[in-house]
Amino acid sequence: MDDAITLASVQLSRKAKHGEWDAVLVLLEQYPSLINHVTSTKGYSVLHQAAWHGASLATIGRLLQLGADTQLKTSDSGQMACDIAMKRHKKRRDLFFALFPASRTLAQLMRKIFARGLPQGMAYPDLVLMDNLVMLFSDEECVAPDARAEDRFYGAFLAMTGTELSTPYTAHLPVLPHWWVNTDYWRNDFLPELLELEKQKSCIPLDRSWVTIGDLLVLEKEGWGLRGDPWLWMELRKSTSRMPLPDTAKELTAILRNLVLARTNSKMLDADSVYIARFSRGGMSGGHISLRFWEQDGIPAIVERAQWLKEMWGEI
């Protein structure tokens, strides 16, 4: 570090330790490379200090937008910011949501890329493939911790198109329906950009330009009504992975209520139990959905998360 950055890092750590967030943000605007700087004693970053103080969602949201790493661990106790927040502020469920150390999924990273703008003249087959790949990567429940993003993308591309990504692209006559995707674009342009983002996946916050309703369901809820409810939650997460987040809580509530009613073939969310065979995975209440749970707890919890996000974005 040069002298100016060294001095700024000392000031940053001191201001963060005392919870002086306006001063912290001013310093970070001047020296953005210090966002994940840690102290030499306990290894605390500004995000760790924000968790310790129980800072506002607006402050934490700004730190995340500047690239704060939610998976960074302290050197003294190996705690992430989320661990510190949950130990000191057990009733702050909003902190748990904001600081949960989930890496961005490949689907989220793809949406971030496409939110910047689609390539000029992108052909219809490639547009269809884009949507299909985002849907395919929208759920990472079964992904091995050591799985390589590049291998996963190559495999998904082959599964979706029947063509190896390494195959050189050959232009074909535009005879409809033609499903010749541009392998050169996906291999040479898109994949390198995706892999570069993947290296930063623990430092990329949810952003208004590409967030979807499904992103609110990535973190599973604590506590359910009946055994079928977690399976409905996962189904909703996938089915809303391409639905933009609406502007109001009223709109989001209406969307979620209609989805739950449609997925359970119900007319009202007033039943204690309705049986859905596809959600049956064993147990006494296996396959049973508590519609009353969704009306009183499940849907309000998702809507509340949307409000937290808006606070983090500074919209509230």
Domain end: 73, 99, 125, which one? Answer: 99
Residue matched to tokens 């959600």? 279
Residue type, 294: W
Single out the residue in 82, 99, 116 at which a domain terminates. 99
Q: Is residue 204 part of a domain?
A: no
Is the separation of the CB atoms in 181 and 163 below 8 Å? Answer: yes
Residue 229 and residue 183 share a domain: no
Quick one: 50 and 74 in the same domain? Answer: yes
Residue 203 in any domain: the answer is no
In a domain, residue 218? The reply is yes
Residues 182 and 121 in one domain: yes
Q: Are residues 302 and 246 in the same domain?
A: yes
Q: How many domains does the chain have?
A: 3
Q: Return d(Cα 301, Cα 282) in angstroms, integer.
A: 26
> Does residue 193 lie in a domain region?
yes
- Per-residue pLDDT tens, the chain, 316 aa: give them: 577 899 999 999 999 999 999 999 999 999 999 999 999 899 999 999 999 999 999 999 999 999 999 999 999 899 999 999 999 999 999 999 999 998 899 999 999 999 999 888 888 889 999 999 998 998 877 888 889 999 999 999 999 999 999 999 887 766 666 678 999 999 999 999 999 999 999 999 999 999 999 999 988 888 899 999 999 999 999 899 999 999 999 999 999 999 999 999 999 888 788 999 999 988 777 899 999 999 999 999 999 999 999 999 999 8
User: Residue 268 domain-assigned?
Assistant: yes
Enclosing domain of residue 287: 213-312
Q: Does residue 9 belong to any structural domain of this protein? A: yes
Which amino acid belongs to residue 178? H
Residues 87 and 120 in one domain: no
Are 80 and 31 contained in the same domain? Answer: yes
Instruction: Based on the fold, state whether residues 66 and 131 are members of the same structural domain.
Output: no
Same domain for 232 and 158: no
Q: Based on the domain organization, do 162 and 235 belong to the same domain?
A: no
pLDDT tens, residue by residue, 24-67: 999 999 999 999 999 989 999 999 999 999 999 999 999 999 99
Residue with tokens 């310790």: 52
Residue at which a domain ends, from 99, 130, 159: 99
Q: Are residues 220 and 176 in the same domain?
A: no
Amino acid occupying residue 172: H
- 205 in a domain, yes or no? no
Same-domain pairing of 111 and 86? no
| 125 is a domain residue | yes
pLDDT of residue 218: 87
The verdict on 139 and 190 lying in the same domain is yes
Cα dihedral: 304, 224, 215, 232 (round 10): -130
